[in-house]
Amino acid sequence: MPRGRKSKLRTRERRRQAQSGTQGLMGAQATAAEEEAASSSCPSLGVTTRRKPGAKSRSTLKSPQGALATTTNPAGVSPARSNKGAKGQMKKKHSSSQAPVSAVRSRKGPLRRTASVLVQFLVHMYKMKKPVRKAHMLKFIAKKYQNRFPEILRRASFSMEMLFGVDLKEVDRTKHTYTFVSKMALPNDGTMSRGSGLPKTGLLMYILAVILMKGNCATEENIWEFLNKMRVYAGKRHFIFGEPKKLITQDWVKLKYLEYRQVANSDPARYEFLWGPRAHAETSKMKVLEFLAKVNHTVPSAFQSWYEEALKDEEERAQASGCSSVLSSSSHTESEANSALCG
């Protein structure tokens, strides 16, 4: 092989390895962008992880900008009375006000396009609070790809979890029936008012992760630096998250998922975020690490310092739960004794 060509190949391989070395947390939020995120320019927050011998020792906490930019807009799924109606709605073209990007790009493979359409149907069923069967999902998959259903479903499930914070669980293996489980119990899909908004638990999980990675307290600059790289901007309505500044600094604060306070002695005033009491109650540091590890296709223990902190948090929770159980049991026994005496 000519020397010049060998040099180009070596340069290309070094570039590929450098790119793969930056594949970190939050690298993909949607199935449609799972592969695209690997080649997109994703910013980092500088997270060091422990890896197996021979693997890259440096990983980065990345924002899922590629996923948000390429995901089909689920807002195009309007509530329909039947699966057929939902399918008809999804076939319609999205208006420019509904989706800032093209719903389907020509460079996407057929499986990714199919998974994107399936995500829309799953979001529709989630909002209708109805379980979904394999037979229903197959209606959105061309016959020549139906034998690839497990892979398509895996992609769509990954998208639902990473983008919306919603898990798809199989509850009946005989009928292949699935139900939806949100990672947190956000009321009204995470807003203070009732409406037809999309699930926002995924965004909250990412913000909680940033707070955790920043020592359990992240400045407002930290949060917006990360969100901007996801193409989520204060004052600019997002097709999934709505007006993000109000959502983060007002709605989630009032719902007690986040604490938003002024940085001590800051002049001019600066603000910071912490986990709120409901976040502590409904999730844990370990669950957030598991969420992030899944995105990064690794295990929570790869993030050594945070993993140790999460283990300690789990122990403290277990001890507190044990004490509560003992107190409850003692109270119940005392009540029975008093009843016996009165009798």
Residues 147, 225, single domain; the answer is no
Provide the 10 A C-beta neighbour count for residue 222: 18
Residues 205, 151, single domain; the answer is no
Instruction: Give Cα 150 distance to the centre of its chain.
Output: 21
Q: Which one-letter DSSP state was computed for residue 168?
A: E
**Cα angle value 312/314/317 (rounded, 5°):** 110
DSSP character string of 49-86 = ----TTS-SEE-BB--HHHHHHS--GGG----SSHHHH
Inside any domain, residue 214: yes
CATH of the domain at 247: 1.10.10.1210
Give me 81's structure tokens: 């009375």
Inside any domain, residue 43: no
Inside any domain, residue 41: no
> So what's the pLDDT on residue 106?
40
Residues 172, 262, single domain; the answer is no
Inside any domain, residue 325: no
> So what's the pLDDT on residue 40?
31
Residues 312, 206, single domain; the answer is yes
Q: Which one-letter DSSP state was computed for residue 29?
A: S
- Do 37 and 66 contact (CB within 8 A), yes or no? yes
Widest CA span in the chain: 100
Note the pTM of the prediction, 2 decimals.
Answer: 0.69
Inside any domain, residue 91: no
pLDDT along the chain (343 residues), means of 10: 56 42 35 33 43 41 46 40 47 40 52 93 91 95 94 94 91 93 76 65 93 95 92 89 91 95 92 96 93 87 92 91 61 53 52
Residues 178, 200, single domain; the answer is no
Q: What is the number of domains present in the chain?
A: 2
Non-local (6+) Cβ contacts of 212 within 8 A are 275, 285, 288, 289, 306
> So what's the pLDDT on residue 255?
92
